[in-house]
Amino acid sequence: MSNKSREKLRIAILGGTGDLGTGLAIRWAKSGHEIIIGSRTQAKAEAAVAALHEISPETPAQALENPSAAESGDVVVLTVPFAHQLSTLESVREGLQGKILIDASVPLMPPAVGRVQLPEGGSAGKRAQDFLGDDVMVVSAFQNIAAHLLQTDAEIDCDVLVAGNKVDARRRVIELIEDAGMNGYHAGPIDNAAAAEALTSVLIQINRRHEIAHSGIRIVGQT
């Protein structure tokens, strides 16, 4: 489907102060989606929008506190550090009901970020789904992308694994991934988010040991 014919969405990015949230905001705005940046306070949200405009002045975005952002978004994206995952979800739980939550959380445990350390329950994505319940469609994605490249016009030679319990929700997220200039692949139920999350530490090791930048994954095969 051409992105020109797709419905334009209000996308609320919780944690839009980081590289990933900023990059996704820029790319989705270019595709015609409306961007809402959420943060813990209104002042922090407004500062995040100001920081976004320093990088991309032409990217329109509204600043709201996280609960209001989640309530206003058609789709909500969580890009906060793993340590703040559950506290952020608790603050926005009511506004997520019946919606897709794209969870980009990676359970990195400094200083050993190059070692796989998945949380109790199997993965951050599974933890979010269990915490929120079945009325929220959690879809895990974007763990293996060099986030700051999203802020540029660079072609990102990397695919995105998409895990979630609802096929239609995964399909919707794959469309948004395409709108951001990448390819997304159905990776099965939310339990399988563990694979993409673990790969982040593996890719960190590859970058270090082989002295390369922005290593990622590509899906190859024959039909």
Q: What is the pLDDT of residues 200-213, one digit of tens each?
A: 999 999 999 999 88
- Between the CA of residue 209 and those of 12, 146, 199, what are the distances in Å? 37, 17, 15
Domain residue limits at 47: 8-210
pLDDT tens digit string along 9-34? 999 999 867 889 999 999 999 999 99
- Residues with Cβ within 8 Å of residue 222, at least 6 apart in sequence: none
Closest CA to 44 of 65, 22, 24: 65
Q: List, for residues 77-99, the tens digit of each pLDDT value.
A: 999 999 999 999 999 999 999 99
pLDDT, residue 1, reads 40
pLDDT at 141: 98
Q: Is residue 204 part of a domain?
A: yes
> How many domains, the chain?
1
Domain membership of residue 107 (yes or no) is: yes
Mean pLDDT of the chain: 94
Q: Can you give the CATH number for the domain in which 130 is found?
A: 3.40.50.720
Q: What is the mean pLDDT of residues 127-140?
A: 98
Q: What percent of the chain has pLDDT over 90?
A: 88
Task: Give the residue-averaged pLDDT of 145-163.
Answer: 93
Q: Is residue 112 part of a domain?
A: yes
Does residue 4 register a pLDDT over 90?
Answer: no
For residue 5, what pLDDT band results from cuts at 50, 70 and 90?
low
Residue 61 in domain: yes
8 Å CB contact between 125 and 102: no
- pLDDT for 166-192, tens place per residue? 999 999 999 999 999 999 999 999 999
Alpha carbon 75 to chain centroid distance? 11
Average pLDDT over residues 97-126: 95
- Identify the pLDDT of residue 34: 98
79 within a domain of the structure (yes/no)? yes
Length of the chain in terms of residues written: 223
Q: Is residue 219 part of a domain?
A: no
Q: What is the mean pLDDT of residues 69-76?
A: 98
Question: Does residue 218 belong to any structural domain of this protein?
Answer: no
